[in-house]
Amino acid sequence: MKKLLAFVLIAVSLLAGCGEKPGAAAPKQVFQGTDLTGANFGRDFALTDHNGKPRTMADFKGKAVIMFFGYTQCPDVCPTTMAEMSEVMKQLGPQAEQVQVLFVTVDPERDTQKLLAEYVPAFDKRFLGLYGTAEQTAAVAKEFKVIYNKVPGTTKGSYSMDHTAASYVFDKDGKLRLLLRPGQPTSTTVHDLKLLLS
């Protein structure tokens, strides 16, 4: 009987050790989207915003940054993504002030500063359009592993752009942390941004 009692006491003490200890740290929260933490690309860029100001990632230190590559004449994924980002900002409420959305054009031939200044803030006045020369655009796309390609249209001189449709998210220190896939639920993006901002 004494042996049985001793065994029960040992078992209970071992089981008690499996539970959460008072004052123990809460379980680490994880992203619901695609985690890119530790990626060795997407480190920086040198482009101009739609107000004519030169920009690099350092300009947005202290904010989470969402970067999307597209073009203003895109008929589908670009306006859809920008509208989704607008909704994300609404759902973040006051925390949205800690987020910067950047729209990088992959069509510098047509997307002038003036056109970007009209298009991008129409989704949210805080959003910034970025552009560069053809060479600068190519360099940034290479750094961020973005693919884009001109596709001839049905009429002479017309064309569309095939391009990577995902968005990147950076933390307040400018480190690449997340990939947002096209059509990803807004709730997922909001959840992950709140984690980055906490």
Q: Is 18 annotated as a binding residue?
A: no
Q: Looking at residue 120, what DSSP letter applies?
A: G
Distance CA 142, CA 164 (A): 12
Q: φ and ψ at 120, to 5 degrees? A: -65, -50
Distance CA 16, CA 169 (A): 41
Q: Is 50 annotated as a binding residue?
A: no
Element (H, E) at 182: none
Instruction: Classify residue 13 as left (phi > 0), alpha (psi -120 to 50) or beta.
Output: alpha
Give the annotated binding-site residues: 74, 78, 163
Give the annotated binding-site residues for Cu cation: 74, 78, 163
